[in-house]
Amino acid sequence: MKVLVPVKRVIDYNVKVRVKADNSGVELANVKMAMNPFDEIAVEQALRLKEASGAEEVVVVSIGPAQNQETIRTALAMGADRGIHIEASHDIEPLAVAKLLKAVVERETPGLVLVGKQAIDDDCNQTGQMLAALLGWAQGTFVSALEVAGDKAKIVREVDGGLEHLEIQMPAIVSVDLRLNEPRYASLPNIMKAKKKPLDSLTVDELGVDINPRLTIVKVEEPAAREAGIKVADVKELVEKLKNEAKVI
């Protein structure tokens, strides 16, 4: 079985984002970028499947500008076999991403697509479900455990009330949650090796997908800042403030 893992390049999760002065978006120039943390978990899971002989090849795909090749190299350094870069200049909405990925799935015919449950930039939480819809495949979302057995997979999902166990038909889309695994670090020898791994480029035109945005961004703003609070001396003062000042208990 081949496993396909889409990875997104996003602002590093440690960076405090700044809104552009003209309110058109968030400042991306000279900001540290990294692989979306949920996608790292998806790559790790694909590698574990391969190590357990549950997968023959792990292919990573990323959509975006030339720098996305660095993100693909990161996944290759972790242990993925091959990369596909789809060149695209601007922000692409999840629906268009799902359409591009569908085209890649039709070329590559993987038995499983592992995706991060959401990207930490737009926080949309849509791409995996949309790809499953377009392919007519089963979807296992927010997954914290995955066991593939033949043409079925047993999954555990993190849901609002706790955990839910499902069995899904393969091929399937599985969107991974935080506690599925802890991604490995790439070792130096593997980083060197990754430079020689195959990385193909495709264009949006070759895949025949319309990626024009459907939503218009009217403005992007900073949220209202909370006013600075006070420090209390002890528990007694805290309880007194909550009772008499804030009146919340």
Residues 158-187 that bind other proteins (CB under 8 A): 158-169, 172, 177-179
Smallest distance from the beta carbon of 2 to other proteins, in angstroms? Answer: 20
How far apart, in whole angstroms, are the C-alpha atoms of residue 48 and residue 114? 12
Q: Return the HEC string of 140-207.
A: EEEEEEEEEECCEEEEEEEECCEEEEEEEECCEEEEECHHHCCCCCCCHHHHHHHCCCCEEEEEHHHH
Question: Do 33 and 5 touch, CB atoms closer than 8 A?
Answer: no
On whether the CB atoms of residues 155 and 145 are closer than 8 A, the answer is: yes
Assess 223 for contact with other proteins (CB under 8 A): yes
188 is an interface residue for other proteins by CB under 8 A: no
Q: Which of residues 11-40 bind other proteins (CB under 8 A)?
A: 11, 13, 16-17, 19, 26, 38
Run of H or E including 48: helix 37-51
Smallest gap from residue 235 Cβ to other proteins (A):
4
**Tokens matching residue 179:** 């506690």
Range 115-144, binding other proteins (CB under 8 A): 117-118, 120-134, 137-142, 144
Cβ nearer to other proteins, comparing 164 with 206? 164
Decide: is 248 part of the binding site for other proteins (CB under 8 A).
yes
Closer CB to other proteins, 57 or 91, in the complex: 91
Which region, judged by CB under 8 A, interacts with other proteins, from 62-70, 75-83, 192-200, 208-216? 208-216
Rank residues 72 and 115 by Cβ distance to other proteins and give the closer one. Answer: 115
CB of 245 to other proteins, least distance (A): 9
C-alpha–C-alpha distance, residues 245 and 223, integer Å: 25
From 48, 87, 108, 154, residue interacting with other proteins (rule: CB under 8 A): 154
Cβ nearer to other proteins, comparing 87 with 121: 121
Contact 75, 5 (CB under 8 A): yes
